[in-house]
Amino acid sequence: MSKQLVLGAFEVMAPTFLANSWRHPLAQPEGYAGMAHWQELARQLDAGGFDFLFFAEALAYPMTPEGEVPEVVVREAVQFPVHDAPLLLSGLAATVDRLGFVVTSSTTAERPYLLARKYSTLDHLTNGRVGWNIVTSDMQDALVRLLGEGAVTAHDTRYARADDFVSLCLTLWEKGWDEQAQPMDKASGVFTDPAKVHRLHHDGPFFALDGYYPIAPSPQRTPTLFQAGASVAGKNFAATYAECIFTQERDVEAAAALVRDLRDRAQERGRPRDGVKVVNGLSVVVGDTEEKARRLRRELTDAPSREAMAALFLGWSGIDLTRFDPAATLQDISTEVGQSLLRQYQDPSLTVGQVLDGLRETMGGFKVTGTPAQVADEIESIVEATDVDGFLVEFTFGGTESYRDFIADVMPLLRARGLLPAQPRRGSLREMLTGSGSPHLPGTHPGRR
């Protein structure tokens, strides 16, 4: 029997993710800033059997190194506006009692102590259903200006900072309190046993701390850890810390190689090969007929303007394609922002003009289009060929329309083939995604060691 997949829904608290898809008749961008929009989506995903709702983040927006913001960014909603997704979670957790939630927070923009408090609190409020997607942040040119940081930090230095950041967070979550530290004994007057709360000391290359962690252990202690870096530094970081790694491959052979590589790196670090789950992006368009599905895919692909896609590429890679000769290539270009993204477009036979024209089709993960049976067949084929553990289903138009046909028509077929559990998973997010029998980090994880 094939492995049973984990499924997440990929969202961002914004009108759209890929520019201009909000203009499609099926899009529902109006409610993105309010709670009701996301509550409706959470109910749909929960009832449909998804395991988690994943929020990407864009702390900044596309900007050139000189500080210029292309007008199209504001005019056509190119990752502008984007609201603060973690603030949604307590309301969504009160709306549904099974679905997990993963939110993205940046080690470049945040502080370890403050982030640890936020995620411990969310883990309490969600009863152990929260995950942290660890990023070092794209759109660095805008971010450093917004935060007053001066200059863009070198790529590998950002990952060194992230390592120190996560190490300190793990110390707070895992070492600050013993189990059963809160007797709350009215007779003795002991609410918390001082002997079971420990003063912590951290003196790392980027962060220092001396003191107590004032939040009691949450159901998972440490939120389930996600990571999405695809550079060498990013893969090493993911293999060290991540329990679930988000990839964005579009080619089956490349995806299979990446999955093997990530498992090899985890094993080299003393973790079991199945200690990391790999989920790849998946854009699904379903139709009653193949012709209808392909027509809808064309409409979706054609929605973003060339100008808007160039702005997206600028934000994600730091490279402004509009400044290049369309006949030039990106072969010798370097960046400190989106190295893995840029590498995908550095084929010496690929011109800048071809990159611009192809961005709408090449950004994101696997694109599967067809009837429900065709979609299920292709998903099964991808799983068998790549050994991925699941998918982040990318929203297409925004709102519940993005997932309606996939839930109604495709998921029953996957369930019948044994690719999804007969009944939706329950428990902590860690238990649902990793299959462990405990909400806590496994003993092989560096946070426990």
Q: What digits encode the pLDDT tens for the residues 125-140? A: 999 999 999 998 766 6
Reduced to 3 states (helix: H, G, I; strand: E, B; else coil), residue 216 is: coil
Rounded-to-integer distance, Cα 188 and Cα 184, Å: 9
Report the binding-site residues: 104, 155, 159, 231
- Cα–Cα distances (Å) from 199 to 39, 72, 165, 195, 214, in that order, read 40, 51, 18, 10, 10
What pLDDT does residue 337 have? 65
Query: With contact defined as beta carbons under 8 Å apart, do 376 and 414 qualify?
Result: yes
What pLDDT does residue 75 have? 92
What pLDDT does residue 18 have? 64
Q: What average pLDDT does this structure show over 392-412?
A: 92
Tokens 């808007």 found at: 308
Q: What average pLDDT does this structure show over 273-286?
A: 95
Query: With contact defined as beta carbons under 8 Å apart, do 212 and 172 qualify?
Result: no
- Name which of 107-111, 213-217, 416-420 the model is least confident about: 107-111
Maximal CA-CA distance, the chain: 80
Over 60: is that where the pLDDT of 86 sits? Answer: yes
What pLDDT does residue 354 have? 87
What pLDDT does residue 319 have? 87
Report the binding-site residues for FMN: 104, 155, 159, 231
What pLDDT does residue 441 have? 98
What is the dihedral sign for C-alpha 156, 159, 165, 166? Answer: negative
Q: What average pLDDT does this structure show over 419-445?
A: 97
Kind of pairing between the strands at 200-203 and 208-211 = antiparallel
Average pLDDT across the chain, whole number: 92
pLDDT band at 42 (very low <50, low <70, confident <90, very high): very high
Rounded-to-integer distance, Cα 329 and Cα 350, Å: 6
Tokens in use for 261?
Answer: 């590589």
Over 80: is that where the pLDDT of 339 sits? Answer: no
What pLDDT does residue 398 have? 76
N-term to C-term CA, the chain: 34
Q: What average pLDDT does this structure show over 231-238?
A: 92
What pLDDT does residue 285 have? 95
Rounded-to-integer distance, Cα 142 and Cα 41, Å: 31
pLDDT band at 424 (very low <50, low <70, confident <90, very high): very high
Rounded-to-integer distance, Cα 79 and Cα 71, Å: 12
- Name which of 16-25, 113-122, 343-352 the model is least confident about: 16-25
What domains can be seen in the chain, in order of their start residue?
Answer: 6-290+365-434 (3.20.20.30)
- Name which of 32-36, 226-230, 422-426 the model is least confident about: 226-230
Among candidates 22, 6, 2, which has minimal Cα distance to 14? 22
Q: What average pLDDT does this structure show over 251-258?
A: 96
Which amino acid makes up residue 279? Answer: V
What is the dihedral sign for C-alpha 164, 166, 172, 174? Answer: negative
Q: What average pLDDT does this structure show over 203-227?
A: 98
Q: What average pLDDT does this structure show over 258-286?
A: 96
Rounded-to-integer distance, Cα 37 and Cα 27, Å: 12
Q: What average pLDDT does this structure show over 148-176?
A: 90
Over 80: is that where the pLDDT of 259 sits? Answer: yes
Q: Which residues of 213-245 are buried (b: 16+ CB within 10 A; e: fewer)?
A: bebebbbbbbbbbbbbbbbebbbbbbbbbbbbb
Q: What average pLDDT does this structure show over 189-194?
A: 98
pTM (2 decimals)? Answer: 0.94
